[in-house]
Amino acid sequence: MAAAQGNAVPAQPPLVPAVARALTLLERIAQARRPLTLARLVAELGYPKSSVHGLCNTLLSFGYLRRQADGAFLIGARVMGLAEAFVAGTQVTEEFNALWKATAGGAHDETIILSVLDGTEVVYVAARPGRRPLGLAFNVGMRLPAHLAATGKAMLAHQPIERLAQLFPADPLPRMSGKGPLTRTALRRELRATRERGYSVDDEGVREGVYCMGAPVFDASGQAVAGVGVCINKSMLGTDGGARHLEVVLGTARELTQRLGGSVPLASRDIVKQGGGA
């Protein structure tokens, strides 16, 4: 009995029901990426209508929700303050911004982005605008499916198999452009290749005509805590297959890893610079 008690899982702290419901409601509206009516929220969340109505009114009053003319709810502008506070307190973001301040030579041709993993999505926390327009704006707080975005795949490639099974429990996997892994088997195959070569590729999986490459950033514990990526108009890859862009991505990820006290895995160190794909 004593041994069983010694291996017991620590009890989770009790949750405040009203807070848990409010956060669940906010997350549902954020995930939907479109306005949701009160009736739809009641049906999807399974809460009493009076409870959902009260939560929405409270969140409206604080600016975390906004309401359309037809009564449907959207995420409010107040959440941006939370996002900005998160970014400001993220060490890897600070180091990313400091890195460019310390680098001579001005902007790179293409936009270089930094993201972190949040479940099955990547959240963009910083960007270094390039000289060339891309047609795909990366704004702080923007989210994309991690299994499609190059920076997401760069981080997912270093997640335990058990974690991947939790994140992606069933097929098919969602797509944005008709390209990208459709099954968990295809995703695992792609992540294995990403891990072996040290960088990831998004070949029009997020946006048609856009080719991206990403590399992971590791902290002192060896965890992939962020991803660095660059996106290029595919027609401008050039005869080198984007090798010079890949070199910037790998160099930036390596520098950030060093600044965080981490180290790049051996398989990612001496990579042949060839076309890869944020």
* 32-70: pLDDT as tens digits: 878 999 999 999 999 999 999 999 999 999 999 999 999
Q: 173: which 2 tokens? A: 């996997």
Q: 249: which 2 tokens? A: 């991505």
Residue range(s) in the chain whose domain bears CATH number 1.10.10.10: 17-77
Q: Are 119 and 164 in contact (CB under 8 A)?
A: no
**What's the pTM value of the predicted model, to 2 decimals?**
0.67
Q: What is the pLDDT of residue 133?
A: 58
Q: Is the pLDDT of residue 95 over 70?
A: yes
- For residue 96, give the nearest of 231, 263, 251 by alpha carbon: 251
pLDDT per position as a tens digit, 111-154: 889 999 999 999 999 988 776 655 556 778 889 999 999 999 99
| Kind plus residue range of the DSSP H or E element containing 118 | strand 112-118
Q: Is the pLDDT of residue 269 over 60?
A: no
Q: 43: which 2 tokens? A: 């049906």
Residue 271 — very low, low, confident or very high, per pLDDT cuts 50/70/90?
very low
Residue range(s) in the chain whose domain bears CATH number 3.30.450.40: 83-268
More confident residue, 129 or 3: 129
Q: Cis peptide before 265, with omega less than 30 degrees from 0?
A: no
Q: 240: which 2 tokens? A: 């080198």
Fold of 17-77: Arc Repressor Mutant, subunit A (1.10.10)
- What residues have CB less than 8 Å from 51, skipping those under 6 apart? 21
Alpha helices, DSSP H, located in 46-183: 49-61, 79-88, 91-101, 150-156, 161-167
Q: 185: which 2 tokens? A: 């088997």
Residue 101 — very low, low, confident or very high, per pLDDT cuts 50/70/90?
confident
Q: Return the biggest CA–CA distance within the chain.
A: 68
Of 67-71, 88-92, 147-151, 255-259, give the lowest mean pLDDT range: 88-92
Classify residue 188 by burial, with Cβ atoms within 10 Å: 0-12, 13-18, 19+: middle
Write the single-letter amino acid at 275. Answer: G
For the residues 246-269, what does the mean pLDDT come to? Answer: 82
Residue 4 — very low, low, confident or very high, per pLDDT cuts 50/70/90?
very low
Alpha helices, DSSP H, located in 129-270: 150-156, 161-167, 184-197, 243-259
Q: Is the pLDDT of residue 246 over 80?
A: yes
Q: What is the pLDDT of residue 137?
A: 64
Alpha helices, DSSP H, located in 76-147: 79-88, 91-101
Which residues partner with 214 through β-bridges?
A: 200, 229
Round to whole Å and give the CA distance between 190 and 181. Answer: 8
CATH of the domain spanning 83-268, picked from 3.40.50.720, 3.30.450.40, 2.40.30.10, 3.40.50.970: 3.30.450.40
Place of tokens 């107040």: 78
**200-203 and 143-145: which strand pairing?**
unpaired
Round to whole Å and give the CA distance between 52 and 68. Answer: 17
Q: What is the pLDDT of residue 84?
A: 62
